[in-house]
Amino acid sequence: MNSIDKSSEWLALKRHWSEIEYRHMRELFAEDSARFDRMSLQACGILLDYSKNRATSETMGLLMDLAERADLAAWIRRMFSGERINNTEGRAVLHVALRSCSDEPVLLDGEDVMPQVRAVLAQMKDFSNAVRDGDWLGYTGYRITDVVNIGIGGSNLGPLMVAEALRHYQDPGLNVHFVSNVDATHLVETLKSLNPETTLFIVASKTFTTQETLANAKAARRWCIEALKDESAVARHFVAVSTNAAEVAAFGIDTGNMFGFWDWVGGRYSLWSAIGLPIALAIGMPNFMQLLQGAYDMDCHFRDSKLSENMPVIMGLLGVWYHNFGGVRTHAILPYDQYLRHLPAYLQQADMESNGKRVSRDGQQLSYTTGPVVWGAAGTDGQHAFYQLIHQGTQLVTSDFIASVHSHNELGDQHLKLMANFFAQTEALMKGRTEDEAMAELVNAGLAEEALAALLPHKVFPGNRPTNSLLLDRLTPQRLGSLIALYEHKIFVQGIVWQINSFDQWGVELGKQLAGVVLGELSEEADVGRHDASTNGLLAYFKQNRLRHS
């Protein structure tokens, strides 16, 4: 594979960055009154304004050339047509099939996967209706009031984020909880307020071998049996979501209470599958179907729009622009929506696990960087925490600001206050405050000359800080589906340009192996000493102190 950084398209962008680097967005706006019209677009009920970027029409043209060099359009077709593009695991990447609302078949090795997808959706519908309507009762005949999803990583972050984002649509009679950490505190604190007779556990694990999930599931099972005094209670209080029926049965969950999915669904892309069962329980299956509809809308936009009018393509390429040509290393996700407060953590996994790769699809060490550090928090909280660095720090941070025109909670003028902050921040990040403006302000405040000179440099804001603004009409299940799919496809676009496999996760697998080895050495009698001096020392200290204080 020819390394993309040797291509003429890449070199053209490199030259172009050196031309544009010192141009201020203030100038770009002053020169072009139609900039917003040219650099914004709408799709699936989402407005993307990308005009507050260090980019011109020429930049966008050069980025599109790079996408063509990377053969992006063909790779999009490959994903949608079920090719095994996850080459290191020999798997297709078909999360798009999970939300297909079309009658067209989705073929994998010549076989339509849609009948299986629809069968699991029907099973989810029956089950979630039964629990929500009180037809599925606990072992002692009580209605289920609490659902605890036990899963980690991709089997936790998606459902957790969506259930919280759509809390407005939740049935108040059914609370959904999420336990992921192997630190028992997570489970213990969650169970404290729950009644075993009315609690249903979903054990969610694609492999059903993940240490954290199995440890929590076993502890939950003991908690249930101890309270209900009968092993057979498990059948009414435990269901599983997995691709591994044998391990589900070995754990003691009836496979009749199992919801399946397939190896062509990556963990971090699985909330659309049965991994979304806690979402369906929380908001009801019609709303879950709306979530899928929204994702499908974005899939169609991504698959069918030309690259220059394609929202995920534009966002992905702008990310490449800053990362590879501007040296920007971190990207902030800033939802001005309390319901979306878990979105940064969700996208952190989606992006960093997908694109945190150092070799190309064919195993060559890359000569350019990939995968920004993704982080963030809900506005306005973030403004009172880390925005200082974004405004005045020494490194350039790019950000996505996300909000809705209408709030589910229009309390007084609070939504207007929230949105005033949203608009003011992106404007301030773009414009900054020049020395003259800062000076005028200090003069107005009546500062004496000496104090003014001392304070002036601190009051200057360079501006020219790039932001994307994303405006939804309202945070509905459908819009949320489109928003998540937008980011999934953005990540895909970047992975293709970087020539990497965005769909494996060997770094996660490593953690799973290593913890198992060390666990064996933590017993009293086991020898420690096979590691480096630091690890040996830490292990010895830990074991001695456990003994001393036990």
One-character DSSP codes across 56-99: -HHHHHHHHHHHHHTTHHHHHHHHHTT---BTTTTB---HHHHT
The closest alpha carbon to 491, from 308, 337, 326, 349, belongs to 349
Q: Of the two residues 162 and 174, which places its CB atom closer to ligand G6Q in the complex?
A: 162
Q: Which of 352, 508, 521, 536 binds ligand G6Q (CB under 6 A)?
A: 508
149 binds ligand G6Q (CB under 6 A): no
The closest alpha carbon to 255, from 244, 266, 267, belongs to 244
Residue nearest to ligand G6Q (CB): 153
267 binds ligand G6Q (CB under 6 A): yes
Q: Of the two residues 207 and 305, which places its CB atom closer to ligand G6Q in the complex?
A: 207
Helix 285-304 crosses helix 72-80 at what angle (to 10 degrees)? 140
Torsion of CA 532, 533, 539, 541, to 10 degrees: 180
Distance of CA 304 to the CA centre of its chain: 24
86 binds ligand G6Q (CB under 6 A): no
Catalytic residue among 164, 197, 212, 353: 353
Q: How far is the CB of 153 from ligand G6Q (least distance, A)?
A: 2
* Residues in 204-243 that interact with ligand G6Q by CB under 6 A: 205-207, 210, 213
Q: Is 488 a catalytic site residue?
A: no
Residues with Cβ within 8 Å of residue 239, at least 6 apart in sequence:
127, 200, 201, 202, 203, 253, 257, 258, 259, 277
CA distance 371 to 494: 8
The closest alpha carbon to 484, from 157, 53, 178, belongs to 157
199 binds ligand G6Q (CB under 6 A): no
Q: Is 384 a catalytic site residue?
A: yes
Q: Which of 56, 155, 290, 426 binds ligand G6Q (CB under 6 A)?
A: 155
Q: Of the two residues 4 and 157, which places its CB atom closer to ligand G6Q in the complex?
A: 157
466 binds ligand G6Q (CB under 6 A): no
Q: How far is the CB of 10 from ligand G6Q (least distance, A)?
A: 29
Torsion of CA 8, 10, 15, 16, to 10 degrees: 120
Q: How far is the CB of 206 from ligand G6Q (least distance, A)?
A: 4
């059914």: which residue's tokens?
174
Q: Is 186 a catalytic site residue?
A: no
Q: Which of 82, 138, 154, 495 binds ligand G6Q (CB under 6 A)?
A: 154
Structure tokens at 284: 């009801």
b/e code 240-262 from CB counts within 10 Å (16+ = b): bbbbbeebbeebebeeebbbbbb
Q: Of the two residues 138 and 260, which places its CB atom closer to ligand G6Q in the complex?
A: 260
* Residues in 488-507 that interact with ligand G6Q by CB under 6 A: 505
Q: Of the two residues 152 and 165, which places its CB atom closer to ligand G6Q in the complex?
A: 152
Q: Which residues are catalytic?
A: 353, 384, 512
Q: Which residues bind ligand G6Q (CB under 6 A)?
A: 152-155, 205-207, 210, 213, 266-268, 353, 505, 508
